[in-house]
Amino acid sequence: MASGLRRIAEKIPGLKYKSEAAWGAHGPQSRLLIRQSLVEALEPASEDRETLLNLHKRPRVNGWSISISHATSEGGWVALADAPHAIGDRHPVSVGLDIETAARITQGVIERMCTASEIAAAPQVAYLWAAKEAAYKSIPDGSQPQVLSAVSILTWQPDGPGVYRFTASVPGYGWLYDSGSTHYAVYAALPD
């Protein structure tokens, strides 16, 4: 299952990731299993471990930007260390992830959440949901807009088989991988 995230991780230096079918939105204890996997992968200090395992708080570990996503068929996480990992000539400050079942996204939802220019520019309109979610999640707490539609997807560029690089109104870069049944999107926000 992690092949979708692997295709994107190749584009973002230093990105750690994992996804599993058992972590899908309907999986028993999927949220706890994802967080336990993060503890194993990041080996946080004890105070960060407690915060990371608390299902009522946003996942946080000192020195890492973390994002989690749950689709019906799969769940996963990405993490990017605060240490510099250049994308171009800049270093990301936060990361956002969305994993979405392609069939779940309808034209009506896209038309309510996106502008006509976003729809016209997208390689496939269903990509817009995952791209917007990933960009939105990359925005630090306290700065996120009230609604997802406030985030705009600006450009799309093919970047390998099934992979697209995109930009958003949030400074940074994103990549979307289309596995056919699932869309994986990761957005690395850059400092202003």
pLDDT for 93 equals 77
> What's the Rg (C-alpha) of the chain?
16
Report the mean per-residue pLDDT for the chain: 90
- Neighbouring-strand partners of residue 117: none
Instruction: Write out pLDDT tens, residues 105-131.
Output: 999 999 999 999 999 999 999 999 999
DSSP reduced 3-state for 104:
helix
- Please say whether the beta carbons of 177 and 162 come within 8 A: yes
Sign of the Cα torsion 22, 28, 31, 35 reads negative
Tokens of 98: 């969305």
Instruction: Write out pLDDT tens, residues 69-79.
Output: 999 889 999 99
**Which domain, by its residues, includes 63?**
3-189
DSSP 148-162: GGGS-EEEEEE-STT
User: What is d(CA 63, CA 190) in angstroms, rounded to the nearest whole number?
Assistant: 16
With cut-offs at 50, 70 and 90, classify the pLDDT of residue 1. very low
- Please say whether the beta carbons of 142 and 178 come within 8 A: no
Instruction: Write out pLDDT tens, residues 158-176.
Output: 999 999 999 999 999 999 9
Instruction: Write out pLDDT tens, residues 46-94.
Output: 989 999 999 998 888 888 999 999 998 899 999 998 765 545 555 557 8
Quote the distance between the C-alpha of residue 121 and its chain's center.
Answer: 20
State the amino acid at position 90 in one-letter form.
R
For the chain, the domain total comes to 1
